[in-house]
Amino acid sequence: MTTVRIVVVFIIGILLVFFALRNTMAVDSIDVFGKSYLKVPLAIIMLYAFVFGLLTAGFFWLVNEIKLRLELKKQKKENEALLSELTALRNLPLDIESNKE
């Protein structure tokens, strides 16, 4: 899975570089959060958009990873409790006289 992920990121990076080289013209003006920038190359805008997308996806991945790790910790704790209960039940003495009725 890691190899597939590396190949996909590499292909996306190559496509981004190719697309950036094809779009070297400058944009007249761009407004970002109320601030205006003049004569910015389109490749730079695309690069910032790509990095922002990676950061956003990374944030959501991190939140999901934390949630999954907490759930795993909870499941491990529950598993240990059930295992100790099972061990306690296995070690109970058998009461043969109550079964003879």
Q: Say if 76 falls within a structural domain.
A: no
Q: Say if 77 falls within a structural domain.
A: no
The candidate with the shortest Cα–Cα distance to 46, out of 72, 67, 20, is: 20
Q: Say if 71 falls within a structural domain.
A: no
Range of the structural domain that residue 7 is part of = 2-64
> 19: Cβ–Cβ under 8 A, 6 or more apart, which residues?
46
Separation between Cα atoms, residue 26 and residue 9, nearest integer Å: 27
Q: Say if 27 falls within a structural domain.
A: yes
Q: Say if 46 falls within a structural domain.
A: yes
Lowest mean pLDDT of 7-11, 12-16, 24-28, 78-82, name the range: 24-28
Q: Say if 82 falls within a structural domain.
A: no
State how many domains the chain has. 1
Tell how far CA 9 is from the center of its chain.
15
pTM for the whole structure: 0.59
The candidate with the shortest Cα–Cα distance to 29, out of 44, 40, 17, is: 40
Residues 43-97: tens digit of each pLDDT: 788 888 888 998 999 999 999 999 999 999 999 999 999 999 999 888 888 776 6
| SS3 call for 3 | helix
